[in-house]
Amino acid sequence: MRNGKRKADAKMPMKMPEGFLWGGAVAAHQIEGAWNVDDRGPSVCDVMTAGGPHRPRRITNGVLPGEYYPNHDGIDFYHTYEHDLDLFQEMGFSCFRTSISWSRIFPRGDEDEPSEAGLAFYDKLFDAMHARGIEPVVTISHFEMPYHLAKEYGGFRDRRLIDFYLRFCEVIFKRYHNKVRWWMLFNEINNQTDVTRDIYAFTNSGVTYTPADNRRQVMYQVVHNELVAGARARQLARQIDPKMKIGCMVAWVPIYPASADPADQMSALDAMHDRFLFTDVYLRGHYPAYIRKQWKREGIQIDIHDGDLEALREGTVDFIGLSYYMSSASRAGATGDADERGFESSVSNPYLEKSAWGWNIDPTGLTYTLATLYERYEVPLFVVENGFGAYDIPDESGYIADDYRIDYLRKHIAALERAVVDEGVEVIGYTVWGCIDVVSFTTGEMEKRYGMIYVDRDNEGHGTLERRRKKSFYWYQHVIETNGEEL
């Protein structure tokens, strides 16, 4: 109900349009394992140890003996993908999002020629998906930069990364353009605006800050280099095959004003600039006035080369891929980062419950997100991550009745449908994050489970890797079967 009554089309069923893509989402580094098989070189996530809800992951100097790196094995999807795809097909998936592991194709990242073994794996994976009526949705770089590029070049601090990324794109576009229609450039490229978290700079851009760094200066320069790389990749895709749809991918956490105090509204507006910056450049093709003023105020100098701004202008994307998990709030003058959302004025929202990892639960925030993004850009949106991380406790028979996950997903899919039916937002599809239990990104835990499929593996790497259907498996199967009409 909005403004006291449903809009004029209230009689319309709350279901998705024909052709809507339903599925699940993962990332190579969190699912594949086989970290050093068939030529694959270490990626930045292969030097991140396991952590926990209150124990940050550590980034080690190389792969060290005696440390536990959960991404090395993932859930061994590299060897089990046929079986896992059978389970996704059983749920009725029409699409499945994963990434191409950059260091499986270019083990060090600066080679001239790619690994044929790496390319052959993704040929087999995409063929297996199509054989089951599942359309691939591919993230080009999902926190998987070859560790060599981070270690030897400093990641995107070095402009040569633009060319290395473009070479990677050229190889995979030419190889898979007849098998993959939906592509996204960089996963959650905006995470790195939170310069207090080393894990974000490292996984977004291969950057390790030094004590001498002005972190915001470094971050915005690196962001510029990455935005140019993405725009030029978009132009390359257009030349190789215009049928390819290239999207950006952003982590969207809408920031509400903590009160009706106009100062809080301005505080929220300012805080949102570190999100809108990315979609504004990706969709409008230029740097907005607010960021230029902000750089001037902070004395930030961006090294912009000839042709960069033209590339941004010409390389705008076709759609916005986004992850949505939570919302946040901002109070003018707050300095405590109470809500840990990576911006100084963040405060907790007393109207929302939180997950066991402190993530706000706000389905309405998804409707608000989709409506505001669509109003601003009027391009199709793709919800490529939404899910509920929780401790799943099997009963004595091993069954998991994850009603809490069904409840979270039901409310968020209903919110998605309100955006489509009430606001007219064009949404390409919806892929549940971690449709099968995978290694958590922020904590490296297996026990922060998102899946409708349980995987028998614990935080220390013990377990049989057996897959088991949870209660949510059958619930989501019915949601897809009714195209979202019955939640």
Q: Which residues are catalytic?
A: 188, 385
Q: Which of 348, 442, 459, 472 binds ligand BGP (CB under 6 A)?
A: 442
398 φ, ψ to 5°?
A: 95, 0
Helix (H, G, I), strand (E, B) or coil at 245: strand
248 counts as binding ligand BGP under rule CB under 6 A:
no
Window of 120-128, 228-236, 435-443, 456-464 that interacts with ligand BGP by CB under 6 A: 435-443
30 vs 267 by CB, closer to ligand BGP: 30
Window of 9-17, 373-381, 404-412, 438-446 that interacts with ligand BGP by CB under 6 A: 438-446
What residues numbered 7-36 form the site for ligand BGP, per CB under 6 A? Answer: 27, 30
Q: How far apart are CA 192 and CA 271, in angstroms?
A: 14
Strand (E) or helix (H) holding 406: helix 403-423
Question: Other CB atoms closer than 10 Å to residue 487's CB: what's the count?
Answer: 18
In sequence order, the β-bridge partners of residue 454 are 468
What residues numbered 272-331 form the site for ligand BGP, per CB under 6 A? Answer: 323
- Give min distance, CB of 90 to ligand BGP, in A: 23
Strand pairing category for 353-354 and 360-361: antiparallel
Q: Which of 441, 454, 475, 476 binds ligand BGP (CB under 6 A)?
A: 441
- Give min distance, CB of 343 to ligand BGP, in A: 16
279 vs 442 by CB, closer to ligand BGP: 442
Q: What is the per-residue DSSP string for 428-459? A: EEEEEETSB----TTT--SSSB--SEEE---T
42 counts as binding ligand BGP under rule CB under 6 A:
no
Q: Which of 155, 230, 257, 389 binds ligand BGP (CB under 6 A)?
A: 389
408 counts as binding ligand BGP under rule CB under 6 A:
no
Q: How far is CA 288 from CA 282, 294, 314, in A?
A: 11, 10, 16
| 225 burial level (CB within 10 Å; 0-12, 13-18, 19+) | buried
188 counts as binding ligand BGP under rule CB under 6 A:
yes
Q: How far apart are CA 410 and CA 221, in angstroms?
A: 40
115 vs 139 by CB, closer to ligand BGP: 139
203 counts as binding ligand BGP under rule CB under 6 A:
no
Residue ranges binding ligand BGP (CB under 6 A): 27, 30, 187-188, 251, 323, 385, 389, 433, 440-443, 448
